[in-house]
Amino acid sequence: MDSEAHIVQQLKNKQFALAVTAISDTYHELLYWHIRKLVKQHEHANDALQNTYVRIFKGLPKFGFKSSIKTWCYRIAYNESLRFLQQQQKLSYNDSNDETTDYFAHLTADPYFDLDSVSHALHESLAKLSEKQQQVFQMKYFDELTFEEIADITSWNVNSIKTAFYAAKEKITLHLTATV
Partner 1 sequence: MKKKTIHNEQLGYHTPEGYFEESKKEMLRFLENQKPEVKTNTALRQLIVGAGIIATVVFGVITITNKSYQTESFEQLTIESLEVSDEEFDLWFDENFVLNDV
Side chain identity, residue 146: T
Q: Is 12 in the site for partner 1 (CB under 8 A)?
A: no
The one-character DSSP state at 1 is -
Beta carbon nearer to partner 1, 79 or 163 = 79
Question: Interaction with partner 1 in 18-57: which residues (CB under 8 A)?
Answer: 20-21, 24-25, 28-30, 32-33, 36-37, 42, 46, 49-50, 53-54, 57
Give 62 or 66: the residue with its C-beta nearer to partner 1.
Answer: 62
Cβ count near 180 (within 10 Å): 8
| Contact window for partner 1 (CB under 8 A) among 17-25, 80-88, 95-103, 153-161 | 17-25
In the list 5, 12, 61, 98, the residue contacting partner 1 (rule: CB under 8 A) is 61
Subset of residues 109 to 128 that bind partner 1, contact rule: CB under 8 A: 112-119, 122-123
Letter for the amino acid at 63?
F
DSSP conformation letters of 14-67: T-HHHHHHHHHHHHHHHHHHHHHHHH-SHHHHHHHHHHHHHHHHHHGGG--SSS
CB of 78 to partner 1, least distance (A): 17
Q: What angle do CA 40, 43, 49 make, to 5 degrees?
A: 85
Select from 59, 104, 106, 63 the least CA-distant residue to 80.
Answer: 59
The footprint of partner 1 on residues 64-103 (CB under 8 A) is: none
CB 155 → partner 1: shortest distance, Å?
A: 22
Query: How far is Cα 44 from Cα 88, in angstroms, rounded to an integer?
Result: 10
Dist CA 15 CA 134 (whole Å): 37
* Nearest residue (CB) to partner 1, 28 versus 83: 28
How many amino acids of this chain bind partner 1 (CB under 8 A)? Answer: 37
Q: Which residues in this chain contact partner 1 in the complex, by CB under 8 A?
A: 16-17, 20-21, 24-25, 28-30, 32-33, 36-37, 42, 46, 49-50, 53-54, 57-62, 107, 112-119, 122-123, 142
